Chains A and B, each alone.
Chain A
Amino acid sequence: MGDLPAVIVSGIVSGSAYALLALGIVIIFRSTDTVNFAIGDIGTLAVFMTATMIAAGLPIWLGLIAAIVIAGLLGIITERTLIRPLGHSRNYVFIALVVTIGLGLLIHAGIFVGWGTRPQAFPVLIEGTVKMFGIALTWNKILAAGIAAVAMIAIAWFFKKTPFGIAMRATADDPVAARMVGIDSGRVAAIAWFLGCGIAAIASFFLAADTSLNPNLTLSPLFRAFAGVFLGGLTSMAGAVIGGFTIGVLDNVAGRYISASYRDTMVFAIIVLVLFIRPAGVLGAGRKERV
């Protein structure tokens, strides 16, 4: 077990992508009660678009910003055109989920049509590797983890300190009361979708830089992000982040010491175990039923 620190560090590094995606899922869920299944695909599409721009000469740093903005705008469009028209029917929560699954299929198909089926090379932000606890980590990964941390702190600041962030939290807690005191629920939804999809784009960007750019870029990370959301609870932003990192570490530890070929199964087992002990997640609010 001598390599345990190394396994944990690389777990944290890969966990930062899961944590970002999980945070995006929770921000969107809290504001519009929608589990956005297409969040990874929106991020991936934005990165495909920026890859084309980077190939045409856009500096890579601007590319990252462009990806965030594009994904955020795609998020706003999605909310306006697909989610808001659903209204609030009885099965709303699941219907909205299914709509985003449909959107995911569309985006997926769109990427195939636009960029073909082959994975594409994607530029790396910084070349080189560094040795840490006896393993080699690429600077790219470390930078990714760093930017993820910055993004998370920025999000936390936004929700804690800015008036609009506080208004958004109020809306998540009690939408009706928030509307009564004059908070514009449409703007809250738009900003939440922008933020959620924007940070998903950060995750997609670094996943692409880490391997290569392909349409299934976020499939497996999204599954782990959901596992993280389960752990932390769908309503807790801090929980989602902690959950994402935890899954990253557990996934790596289990993959190293138990079996490398049953990683999804073990992530699944962890989710099931946690949910049986705490159905609303470790930090999530309990479900209340009124009689």
Chain B
Amino acid sequence: MSPANMRRLAIIIAGIALAIVVGPYRMVGDYVQFIVAALSFYFIAVLSVNMLAGLCGIWSLGHTAYMAIGAYTAANLTKMGVPVEVIVLASISLSFVVGYILGLSAGRFSVLYFGLLTMALALAGTEIIGHWTAVTGGDDGMKVGKAITLFWPQPIETKNAAMICVILATLAYLVGEAVTNSQLGRRWLAVKGQRIASMSIGLKPHVENATAFGMSAAIASLAGIGMAFSMAYIDPVAFSLDSGVTLIVGTVVGGIGSTLGAVVGSAFITAVPELARDAQAIANFVYGGAMIAVLLFLGEGIVPAIRHRIRHWKGRDKVNTNVPRQAVDAEAMTKLVSELMPPARHTLSLNAVSVQFSGLKALDDVTFDIAPGTAVGLIGPNGAGKTSLLNVLSGFYKPLASTTVKLGDADILALPPSGRAALGMGRTFQHAELFPELTIRQMLLTVAALGRPLRRANQIALNEPEAVAERIIGGLGLAPYADYMPSELPFGVQKVADIGRVLAIGASVVSMDEPFSGLDEHERSELRAILRGMRSAGVSILIIDHAVQEVLSLADKVVVLDFGKMLATGEPDSIRRNPEVMKAYFGSSHHVEPSPEISTKEPANG
């Protein structure tokens, strides 16, 4: 059994054991039952907030609204004799839908605005609960009946409802762990860390956010159900903004983005008011003080801080950059590329591309084609519009209406960035833009999983995400770095990993923004080999770079931009001798002589 499965099994066994202990056999006293119940439902609630903050960077002060949905669904449905199992299904569905709709809007706002918006939701929620007497009993609250379940002959006594809370908490723990360690969690981390780059690998940030928010809301509603059955009486105070803030306290103190952190955090917010029963002010002192102290001194919360210390202590903190490098094997690179990237089948044609930023025309009527399997170089001085053009292709800038860009028959401009990725368009970034919270291996795994349909459609044999990721790590010499976060790695390695990302998505039309910048000589020759490999594999390439020599020696065709206009286009040789290009680009009309080491072009299909 894998360690992950062992862990899961251990959690299930522990959960069932605890449920039996606090259940109807009266093995412990009332107070213990109550504490276990409170711990359980606070754990669920903190986990839901924690997951959202950790994996998506979305902070919600309004999750008490979803707890309220769970609690009042439970209260109303038990009156009609509906069993707990059905109540759980009903309230998670309802909360998921409400959360999904709210989550769709998360991407429109900054983290801050959205956080404040959820705060407003909590206030409005309390008010609605207070006045909607028919469903909620208003400010006076309402009684919750005993829980009926399909697996127990009699209704469950209120104090024994601790059992239900423990079972729900176990479920929530399993779901939380599963999401965090799965493709889903990695996708959310990718969107959280690099919104733009995540779109270029085919993710739709607003959908990912909405799904995450919906799931988190559904989990929070479980906390409400547990709370309703173990308190037997619910009123609006339990779902006020103060309670929402308490959940944030639990999240911050325990540690953001950690399931174990949610355990610690919920223990904290359960224990403090219990220990300060007679003085509510003291509880608030401790909450406020702990929150500030943790953020000032631990930064990331108790559990991640301890984990960090342990890692530091084990001495596995710094990546070893003194790895002996293998000689670049051009043939091996070609093989790597052809195993992962399908040949391009369609011409990418740009027609009259124009972009306007208020008064300034960044691009004016730029027209050229990239025939399947050819490399086009785009050069021009700073401010010529090169990066703007790339952003039009990837869908981050909207060009003027006269512009058309087509890949074969497909109208690229009509598609969102994610749709372009699905057609096989990939890109790399000037500053690599790797996902800051994924290791290189996790990133490649995530992207490889997203690239599956594309590879399948192109009949590429190597398709299992694990196999694809391994192949890229081996092929690009990333093995010593694979289990590190991007921030721990030298810039050159990050740029190579960025190229690994387009390999993993299985793109057949690749745009590269200054791939040579920031690379050392070894990495440059590696990149040259990769680019040649792409060409011989039939991949179309658009390459933008200031390393003009490199571009001239690699490209089949070169387009020169100056102040947004096309200055010249043609084969590298003719560009080299074009006096107008010399003047615009270099300020004089001297010829650019190819430097000896890279002038010898590899034989075609090398």
Q: Which residues of A contact B135 (CB under 8 A)?
A: none
CB-contacts of B265-295 with A (<8 A)? 280-285, 287-292, 295
Q: Which residues of A contact B57 (CB under 8 A)?
A: 91
Interface-central residue, A263, A265, A267, by most chain B CB under 10 Å = A265
A120 to chain B, nearest CB (A): 16
**Assuming the A-B contacts A82-B296, A264-B123, are A102 and B287 also in contact, with contact meaning beta carbons closer than 8 angstroms in the complex?**
yes
Interface pair A289/B289, CB less than 8 Å apart: no
CB-contacts of A265-291 with B (<8 A)? 265, 267-269, 271-272, 275-276, 279, 287, 289, 291
**Assuming the A-B contacts A86-B295, A97-B115, A106-B292, are A268 and B124 also in contact, with contact meaning beta carbons closer than 8 angstroms in the complex?**
yes
Cβ proximity bits A218-260 to B, threshold 8 Å, 1 near / 0 not: 0000010011001000100000000000000000000000000
B302 to chain A, nearest CB (A): 15
Q: Which residues of B contact A269 (CB under 8 A)?
A: 124
Query: In the docked arrangement, what's the CA distance between A240 and B396, Å?
Result: 31
Query: Which of A86, A94, A104 lies in contact with B59, CB distance below 8 A?
Result: A94
B45 to chain A, nearest CB (A): 17
Interface pair A264/B124, CB less than 8 Å apart: yes
A53 CB–B CB distance under 8 Å: no
B188 to chain A, nearest CB (A): 15
Closest-by-CB residue of A relative to B513 is: A291
A125 to chain B, nearest CB (A): 30
CB-contacts of B241-272 with A (<8 A)? 245, 248-249, 252
A255 to chain B, nearest CB (A): 12
B387 CB–A CB distance under 8 Å: yes
Q: Which residues of A contact B285 (CB under 8 A)?
A: 105-106, 109-110
Interface pair B123/A268, CB less than 8 Å apart: yes
B410 CB–A CB distance under 8 Å: no
Query: In the docked arrangement, what's the CA distance between A239 and B555, Å?
Result: 52
Query: Which of A97, A102, A227, A263 lies in contact with B292, CB distance below 8 A?
Result: A102
Interface pair B296/A262, CB less than 8 Å apart: no
Query: Which of B123, B131, B282, B436 lies in contact with A109, CB distance below 8 A?
Result: B282
Interface pair B291/A105, CB less than 8 Å apart: yes
Query: In the docked arrangement, what's the CA distance between A110 and B281, Å?
Result: 8
A275 to chain B, nearest CB (A): 7
Interface pair A89/B299, CB less than 8 Å apart: yes
Query: In the docked arrangement, what's the CA distance between A94 and B59, Å?
Result: 8
A118 CB–B CB distance under 8 Å: no
B416 to chain A, nearest CB (A): 15
A108 CB–B CB distance under 8 Å: yes
Query: In the docked arrangement, what's the CA distance between A97 and B252, Å?
Result: 12
Cβ proximity bits A24-52 to B, threshold 8 Å, 1 near / 0 not: 00000000000100000000000000000
Closest-by-CB residue of A relative to B128 is: A265
Query: Which of B117, B124, B195, B245 lies in contact with A101, CB distance below 8 A?
Result: B245
**Assuming the A-B contacts A86-B296, A268-B123, are A287 and B110 also in contact, with contact meaning beta carbons closer than 8 angstroms in the complex?**
yes
Query: Which of A99, A113, A234, A263 lies in contact with B295, CB distance below 8 A?
Result: A99
Interface pair A106/B284, CB less than 8 Å apart: yes
Closest-by-CB residue of A relative to B109 is: A279
A41 to chain B, nearest CB (A): 10
Query: In the docked arrangement, what's the CA distance between A262 and B385, Å?
Result: 53
Query: In the docked arrangement, what's the CA distance between A287 and B299, Å?
Result: 27
Closest-by-CB residue of B relative to A29 is: B112
Query: In the docked arrangement, what's the CA distance between A288 and B390, Å?
Result: 17
Query: In the docked arrangement, what's the CA distance between A35 and B290, Å?
Result: 20
B108 CB–A CB distance under 8 Å: yes
Query: In the docked arrangement, what's the CA distance between A268 and B281, Å?
Result: 29
Query: In the docked arrangement, what's the CA distance between A195 and B36, Å?
Result: 47
Query: In the docked arrangement, what's the CA distance between A107 and B196, Å?
Result: 41
B1 to chain A, nearest CB (A): 37
Query: In the docked arrangement, what's the CA distance between A267 and B391, Å?
Result: 39
Interface pair A82/B105, CB less than 8 Å apart: no
B486 to chain A, nearest CB (A): 13
**Assuming the A-B contacts A103-B292, A106-B284, are A291 and B196 also in contact, with contact meaning beta carbons closer than 8 angstroms in the complex?**
yes
B116 CB–A CB distance under 8 Å: yes
Q: Which residues of B contact A261 (CB under 8 A)?
A: 127, 130-131
Closest-by-CB residue of B relative to A284 is: B113
Q: Which residues of A contact B123 (CB under 8 A)?
A: 223, 264, 268
Interface pair B248/A108, CB less than 8 Å apart: no
Interface pair A104/B387, CB less than 8 Å apart: no
Interface pair A90/B436, CB less than 8 Å apart: yes
Query: In the docked arrangement, what's the CA distance between A262 and B436, Å?
Result: 43
Interface pair A112/B112, CB less than 8 Å apart: no
Q: Which residues of A contact B10 (CB under 8 A)?
A: none
Interface pair A271/B287, CB less than 8 Å apart: no
Q: Which residues of B contact A109 (CB under 8 A)?
A: 281-285, 288
Query: In the docked arrangement, what's the CA distance between A85 and B195, Å?
Result: 28
Interface-central residue, A234, A262, A279, A291, by most chain B CB under 10 Å = A291
B212 to chain A, nearest CB (A): 16
Interface pair A265/B127, CB less than 8 Å apart: yes
Interface pair B127/A99, CB less than 8 Å apart: no
Q: Which residues of B contact A113 (CB under 8 A)?
A: 281
Query: Which of B112, B119, B248, B284 lies in contact with A93, CB distance below 8 A?
Result: B112
Query: In the docked arrangement, what's the CA distance between A132 and B299, Å?
Result: 54
B175 CB–A CB distance under 8 Å: no
B236 to chain A, nearest CB (A): 12
Query: In the docked arrangement, what's the CA distance between A86 and B120, Å?
Result: 26
CB-contacts of B427-442 with A (<8 A)? 429, 436
A98 CB–B CB distance under 8 Å: yes
Query: In the docked arrangement, what's the CA distance between A262 and B117, Å?
Result: 17
Interface pair A291/B120, CB less than 8 Å apart: no
Interface pair B120/A104, CB less than 8 Å apart: no
B207 CB–A CB distance under 8 Å: no
A95 CB–B CB distance under 8 Å: yes
Interface pair A263/B127, CB less than 8 Å apart: yes
Interface pair A102/B291, CB less than 8 Å apart: yes
Q: Which residues of A contact B284 (CB under 8 A)?
A: 105-106, 108-109, 112
Q: Which residues of B contact A95 (CB under 8 A)?
A: 295
B111 CB–A CB distance under 8 Å: yes
Query: In the docked arrangement, what's the CA distance between A263 and B289, Å?
Result: 33
B90 CB–A CB distance under 8 Å: no
Interface pair B112/A234, CB less than 8 Å apart: yes
Query: In the docked arrangement, what's the CA distance between A2 and B105, Å?
Result: 39
Q: Which residues of A contact B391 (CB under 8 A)?
A: 291
Closest-by-CB residue of B relative to A233 is: B113
Closest-by-CB residue of A relative to B429 is: A291
Interface-central residue, B57, B112, B120, by most chain A CB under 10 Å = B120
Interface-central residue, B109, B112, B248, B282, by most chain A CB under 10 Å = B112
**Assuming the A-B contacts A109-B281, A112-B281, are A230 and B289 also in contact, with contact meaning beta carbons closer than 8 angstroms in the complex?**
no
CB-contacts of A70-91 with B (<8 A)? 82, 85-86, 89-91
Query: In the docked arrangement, what's the CA distance between A104 and B61, Å?
Result: 15
CB-contacts of B361-417 with A (<8 A)? 387, 390-391, 394, 396
Query: Which of B59, B127, B296 lies in contact with A85, CB distance below 8 A?
Result: B296
A121 to chain B, nearest CB (A): 22
Query: In the docked arrangement, what's the CA distance between A234 and B124, Å?
Result: 21
Could you give 16 example pairs across A and B, Cβ below 8 Å? A35-B116, A102-B295, A104-B288, A106-B289, A108-B288, A109-B283, A109-B284, A109-B285, A223-B120, A234-B112, A261-B131, A265-B128, A267-B120, A271-B120, A272-B117, A289-B195
Interface set of A (CB-CB < 8 Å, partner B): 35, 82, 85-86, 89-91, 93-95, 97-99, 101-110, 112-113, 223, 226-227, 230, 234, 261-265, 267-269, 271-272, 275-276, 279, 287, 289, 291
